[in-house]
Amino acid sequence: QVQLAESGGGSVQAGGSHRLSCATSGSTYSSYCIGWFRQAPGKEREGVAATYGGATYYADSVKGRFTITQDNAKNTLHLQMNSLKPEDTAMYYCAARRSFTCVRWYQEREYNFWGQGTQVTVSS
């Protein structure tokens, strides 16, 4: 099992940058595909980025702007968000699944563990 706790949400102006963090617990951190999802009002939850075994994956909507990284020493996942747009406004969730791969990383039903979410609001 793993527990996840997001932090770093807040309000940002369009064009600005922000970083989210996800603290993880458990000794099986390296065996999990872990990533970020987001859900905007009136929209379904969508995959933003994920990482496993050194590989990273990004949604086309954030590619080139967002970067997902892992700080293994601190068991913390980060999402660096640059060039933010109002459309990035959403509740952001950290999610993990026990897996040997990160196939279909963007499908939320593949993930077993979820954090409570942290709100990111981008103003125009």
Rounded to an integer, the average pLDDT of 43-57 is 94
**Under 8 Å between Cβ of 86 and 74:** no
- High-pLDDT (> 70) share of the chain, %: 97
| pLDDT attached to residue 54 | 86
110-123 pLDDT, tens digit per residue, is 999 999 999 999 99
Q: Which residue has the tokens 């922000």?
A: 18
How many C-beta atoms lie closer than 10 Å to residue 28's C-beta?
12
72-117 pLDDT, tens digit per residue, is 788 899 999 999 999 999 999 999 998 888 899 999 999 999 999 9
**Under 8 Å between Cβ of 26 and 90:** no
Secondary structure tally for the chain: helices H, strands E = 0, 11
92 vs 110: CA distance, rounded Å? 17
